[in-house]
Structure 1
């Protein structure tokens, strides 16, 4: 096995709000899609995680409701004034944008704790892209009414409309989920890790975008933001902001973690469906969240 890391390894306890259970019993392999009932979820959070996700969603919904309320105030009061108070209008646009972004960040964190299933494509899309949808609702009508307002001259429309478009784009970007978490992904990653290592435990660093099957891989031993390696469950890694298990888990397991090619091949053979879920997930090829933290990975490795 590779030499142990010289960096401090910090245990992330299965946090109340980040630990998980999967439907069905038996072995890790049996708890994949084939070992559950037709009406059971692929992966379910603990009650604590579910409760935390629900609270975050309520706070996000409140932030979005206030943002839309400010939009309505701007449409039915500020734009009706003669002359239009430009500072008040721009202030309303900026505050609406801030609330929209805050709501989206909270909603994304809730989705990490309690992801949707891909089996319901409509719900999966809406749950993961709701922040972007809300941003469009909160800004598009206001922007249209700014450009068609008869109480503003051309320069005022250009200024207010331009600010509105920029804030809309920023809010929409923050609201868009580019790596949408799913129950299928969480179940597949947990099954693979447990089958290979015998325990639901992975390793990651602050600032990185992926997690790994052992603490001795080079990517987690490079210089990082706080000089620490974190270890915990797959669910804890996702709750900590990691997008997924590295696509290079097979080569890392053999080169750095002390597992044999035969062991890795056995996991791939027994959990071929889970491996396919991981490889076909809509996440991009492994790439560092910041250059000093993790090396670039090739999707073919």
Structure 2
């Protein structure tokens, strides 16, 4: 078999972009879109609960939470206040991680840098909105509070704010453009192995899967007019999202004997790259 060269990539994609691409390809193959809306709703529920823990208004009920409420009902009783602040900080981080999880499956499609930043770092923004006002209240009402209470609450608030902000940040944000680039880049790599006579894979007019071997036993006698050559992405778009079982078996046998250069499904290629990045500690941006 004539050896072919695989196109070289200019830049290794980040693990986050690879995972998002893998998730979206799996959606295409299964025909079922992952419901990330529920994670976004849960994120806002966590942020709402964090706001309640901080600023539950006094409505005549003897509720043991609401940092600001407790602070001014009993200025000397600072322990419940710091507990509420810590709980609020934890809820902020949980909400942010849910939001980031959803983003890494269905990232923003906006090309606007400001919108991308707000969307990707919404967790940090919400942590600031929820926690920072207490600092303003402490300054504005400093004459109404004992010095010990002010010192302890301010110190805890500062630590929680820093921790919540750090825990809420998305250090490897993803956009849909990056995901599209990954899919295109890896598709081109897969096509470069040249197992078929066309761009990468082959499928037939009446088949329900695609083939990486143009002489696969299930299509070798097919009418050429009923065969289509193209990329894996094009095969998926044509509702051929599954790799032929015969091709899989043949590939595994050939690979075990060292007879093929290693062409694999795009989803498997992405999975291997993610594993490589994880093992090396590389985030895909040259950082370790």
Give the distance between the partners of 1:60 and 1:83, measured in 2 at CA: 32
Relative to structure 1, is the Cα distance of residues 235 and 197 closer, same or farther in structure 2, using a 3 angstrom cutoff? closer
Corresponding residue number in structure 2 for 1:196: 189
**Tell me, what secondary structure is at the counterpart of 1:18?**
helix
Which of 128, 140, 146 is 1:153 aligned to? 146
**Residue 176 of structure 1: how far off its partner (Å):** 1.7
- Which residue of structure 2 aligns with residue 77 of structure 1? 69
1:152–1:70 distance in 2 versus 1, CA, 3 Å: same
TM-score, length-normalised on structure 1? 0.53
- Shift in Å, 1:235: 11
1:165 aligned partner: 158
Superposition deviation, residue 84 in structure 1: 3.8
Instruction: Select the structure that is richer in helix.
Output: 2
Q: Counterpart in 2 of 1:61?
A: 44
Q: 1:133 aligned to 2:125?
A: yes
Q: Distance in 1 between matches of 2:285 and 2:129?
A: 38
After superposition, the CA RMSD in angstroms is 3.8
**Change in CA separation of 1:118 and 1:154 when aligned onto 2, cut-off 3 Å:** same
Cα displacement string for residues 148-197 of structure 1 (whole angstroms, at most 9, x for unaligned residues):
43342222211111110111111111222222100011000111111111
Q: Normalized against structure 2, the TM-score is what?
A: 0.55
Change (3 A) 1:234 1:100: farther
- Any residues of structure 2 matched to 1:237-252 within 5 Å, and which? none
The question of whether the paired residues in 2 share the 8 Å contact of 1:68 and 1:138 is answered with: yes
How many Å separate the matches in 2 of 1:298 and 1:172?
23
Which residue of the other structure, out of 233, 247, 250, is the alignment partner of 2:267? 233
Whether the aligned pair in 2 keeps the contact of 1:186 and 1:234 (CA below 8 Å) is no
Give structure 2 stretches of 5+ with no counterpart. 4-18, 57-65, 192-231, 234-264
How many equivalent residue pairs?
A: 185
C-alpha distance after superposition, 1:250-281 (max 9, x if no partner): xxxxxxxxxxxxxxxxxxxxxxxxxxxxxxxx
8 Å Cα contact 2:123/2:168 also seen in 1: yes
Question: Does the 8 Å CA contact 2:81/2:153 hold for their aligned counterparts?
Answer: yes
- Asked if the contact 1:22–1:187 (Cα under 8 Å) also holds between the matched residues in 2, the reply is no
Q: What CA distance in whole angstroms lies between the structure 1 residues aligned with 2:269 and 2:96? A: 20
Q: Structure 1 CA distance, aligned partners of 2:115 and 2:270?
A: 24
Offset from partner CA, 1:42-100 (integer Å, 9 cap, x none): xxxx7522x2x111000011000110111112365212213342111001001000100
SS of 2:75's equivalent in the other structure is coil
Deviations 1:205-229 (A, max 9, x none): xxxxxxxxxxxxxxxxxxxxxxxxx
User: Which structure has the greater CA radius of gyration?
Assistant: 2
Counterparts of 1:181-192 in structure 2, within 5 Å, are 181-192=174-185
Unaligned runs of 5+ in 1: 2-13, 24-45, 201-230, 247-287
